[in-house]
Structure 1
Amino acid sequence: MNPLVRAVLASSLFVSSVSFAQGAEINMQVDVDDQDMPGARIHVKASGPDGEEGATVKVRGGGARMDVRVTGGMTTTETHTETRTERNTEYVAPVREREVREREVRERESGPSFRDCGTGSDEGCTTRRDGQLPMDASTWSGFYQSLKSEPNEIVREEKAEKMLKRVYLTAAQFGKVLDLFPNEITRLDVAKVAVPHVVNPQHALGFSSKWRNSISGSEYTDLITE
């Protein structure tokens, strides 16, 4: 049974019992609206033996609210039932905030518009490979000077190969590394380690001329074009 209907019936029974107890005559009018906002109004006029008016009962819906007032020494009774509606509000970032976040995402994906890789105007400096940027100017300077200052070519090769497995470099940086190895066999071995980390290998095709031995030069060309 609808809670509102139960409230109306309970109110009616209550008033009837009061009126009966007081020996009163009762006239009751009930209006019920049970659509979008259920509600009921009960107006009761009860006349006692001395002609005095008796009880008035009001029931209002939405969640039932009942106010009962009875004359003749009876206690006033109020019953309230409240209904709360919760709303979930989705936060919408201002347009400016969204634009800033989108720009930051684009910068992370494409890299900054200008970087210094220590090799002058280097087109590969803002190019990524495997999601990684090439060495910046500070990293490149330390790496290059460390190799250049090593007098033993075998030790220099070991240093280069260890570093080149962890960092990425531009074609310009790669060319300078190759020039540090006069021995063509050693130079080719270094190239084999470095080529997978050159961010713009298409710009290093011409480095095949660094090998006087045509077989080594051809092997380098195959390596850089894979």
Structure 2
Amino acid sequence: MTKCVFEPERLSAIHDRLLVFHGPRHWWPADGPFEVMIGAVLTQNTAWSNVERALERLKARCPLDAAGLLALDPSELAETIRPAGYFNLKARRLIAFCEFYRAAGGWDGLNALDTGALRERLLAVKGIGPETADDILLYAFDRPVFVVDAYTRRVFSRLGLLRGDEPYETIRAAFESALGPDVPRYKEYHALLVEHAKQVCRSRPRCSDCVLKRAVPCRQVLSAEA
């Protein structure tokens, strides 16, 4: 079995340097838990700016709740969320999620479940994978579940703390073990890694601007500065 262990002090050093450099991110931007959930589906394989456009179009078209979205014709829903990309596929996923959400008793019904059971229920919904489920758990339900995305893998692989091909659950467990069950810290850490990967640790990294070089020397990309 693949194992992954992070030193708590090193993770804290990375977090603290990112926080000073980028400032608090106050993520996830949404008007309530349901908008977080819809945004988590819409943000699959697209930039957040596109999600914001899709959400604004939805709000202009119908109430942003399960009943409102399900009342739309599927083709109308797809056209409304077109800015988010893969709009036909995401429309089907939103419908599946809203049907699940309503059948489960909405936020109150789902929030009554313990974290493990809630995660299993989310993962059983078609189109909801581990990253989307964990986005929902952390940001909509305030559960201590660390979100692992491509940006996390990129930054930590370049720092030499991951190979990059470890299973999702292995990386998630390593973060949670090192950080402890700290929901606000999970939110801020995840958001800071996203921001750093977008601004500095990009596909062609700007290593000369990276504040993490002193916290964890970057062993893999120093020759690739752009």
TM-score range, shorter chain: under 0.3
Q: Which has the larger radius of gyration?
A: 1
Structure in which a larger fraction of residues adopt strand: 1
| Larger RCO (CA under 8 A, 6+ residues apart) | 2
- Give the TM-score of the pair, scaled to structure 1: 0.24
- Give the TM-score of the pair, scaled to structure 2: 0.24
